[in-house]
Chains A and B, each alone.
Chain A
Amino acid sequence: QKEVEQDPGPLSVPEGAIVSLNCTYSNSAFQYFMWYRQYSRKGPELLMYTYSSGNKEDGRFTAQVDKSSKYISLFIRDSQPSDSATYLCAGSNFGNEKLTFGTGTRLTIIP
């Protein structure tokens, strides 16, 4: 079993919809959780960074962490075609140490 599981998709939604992206993890020691966005043939770009359980909001993006169920989510409100990308979740014991990534979910927003 991979330490971080993520549905690879692909996921297609109409413009303006709310998108929900999810990951599960198995390592109870994870304290830090990240969401990265990766456009085709580009490096991953950090979107959201959270510590422990709870919610964090940044503009149209909300990250949720539920450590009791080992479940992390990213919500995108008012989705735009520019949100079309692969979204990667990751966890780590310490923020600046080894990240363990999910395989990524490919998202397409249809105009």
Chain B
Amino acid sequence: DAGITQSPRHKVTETGTPVTLRCHQTENHRYMYWYRQDPGHGLRLIHYSYGVKDTDKGEVSDGYSVSRSKTEDFLLTLESATSSQTSVYFCAISDYDEQYFGPGTRLTVT
């Protein structure tokens, strides 16, 4: 998985609780991304980062925030989880052209 790890790999949480997902890379790539994957929708971009402390919104950013204080780490936070945020979350990294994906985090909000 191109030196990308995601934690946790699985999580079950209750509606209204905060959740933070972590993406860690060992490739020293500049760009990092968070996507969610849902049946019938495919992969959709939530947020991305083009450098330390530089982030921007994607297609489905409402309800999510991100932070990147180090090149290797990109955090995705659900401030108050809702059932509609039940999904599989993928982190991706890129330097120039191709994007490489991590193994994913399966999040269930009950």
Contacts and interface: CB of A to CB of B under 8 A. Distances in A.
Contact of B45 (A41, A98, A103): A98
Contact of B40 (A42, A44, A95, A103): A103
Interface string B76-94: 0000000000000010001
Given A44-B90, A95-B96, A96-B94, A102 B101 contact: no
Which 5 pairs from chain A and chain B are nearest by CB? A95-B97, A43-B101, A103-B42, A101-B43, A96-B94
Nearest to A4: B42
Interface of A is mostly: loop
A7 B100 CA distance: 24
Given A42-B103, A43-B1, A44-B90, A96 B42 contact: no
A74 to B, nearest CB: 16
Interface string A79-111: 000000000101000011111111110000000
Interface residues of B, number: 25
Interface of B: 1, 30-31, 33, 40-45, 48, 58-59, 90, 94-104
Contacts of B40: 8, 103
Contacts of A45: 101
Interface of A: 6, 8, 32, 34, 36, 41-46, 49, 88, 90, 95-104
7 contacts: A6-B42, A42-B103, A43-B101, A46-B99, A46-B101, A88-B43, A100-B45
A44 B94 contact: no
A102 B97 contact: no
B90 A104 contact: no
A101 B102 CA distance: 16
A65 to B, nearest CB: 15
